[in-house]
Structure 1
């Protein structure tokens, strides 16, 4: 791949403590872009935090050179020019997963709520909205936004004419 593009991957990391309210197995899901071709050094773009806190989750970019992950999937490529600023600009403006769980004094456990104001919990057999965390943010929000902005080119054959 020419140096004018960088490979972009989906990395999944094993969780130390799984959420009992989420289907298993679950992984911390991130977007990773190499900054130097082939050296496996780059940046991870992801949301961190907790869906039980009032802040919910927040976007973060951090350097990543550890290859201690569960799996790595090539998503496509991004233009080297402007990276990582272009990713930060776009991804920091996307909505992040909000608070979705609270401590229920009636059940003495932290659980998903129906509404926060007023705080209303689901009944025992009531259908619940799916929880949204890092995996859903990456797949349903970040990747489509990067593609729409032209910052993630999925088909490598499209790069041939662009270089």
Structure 2
């Protein structure tokens, strides 16, 4: 008995159509790519917060360590009678060097911000151009298809 001769119910036809649609490689691929990027975009704020928190913890730990070492060395010098007086020229050199280090760090931060901004603008340009490239590629593809396919009579 051939079951293909029996008419299908509307529900069966709809289910069959959904199955056929969902089995299209490109539709399935596109759906999964969209889900991936939705998830990736949703995690950006959390990741940025985590990285910022780690960086702040690192600076705090570093500062605490350096301050502790200074304190320990100062106590050692006091208990052993080591003279810790510093000449004015050395003090000036240390303070001036620290000012230059802070300025360099500020310039470094400005470079990082400018670079990040330029990268973001380049990515935006790429994203804005993607549609135009897709249209161009579609036109090229259509031209090739029409050139290499025989018209059906």
Report the TM-score range of the alignment, normalised by the length of the smaller protein: under 0.3
What TM-score do you get using the length of structure 2 for normalisation? 0.25
- Bigger relative contact order (CA 8 A; separation at least 6): 1
What TM-score do you get using the length of structure 1 for normalisation? 0.24
Higher helix share: 2
Higher strand share: 1
Which structure has the larger Rg? Answer: 2
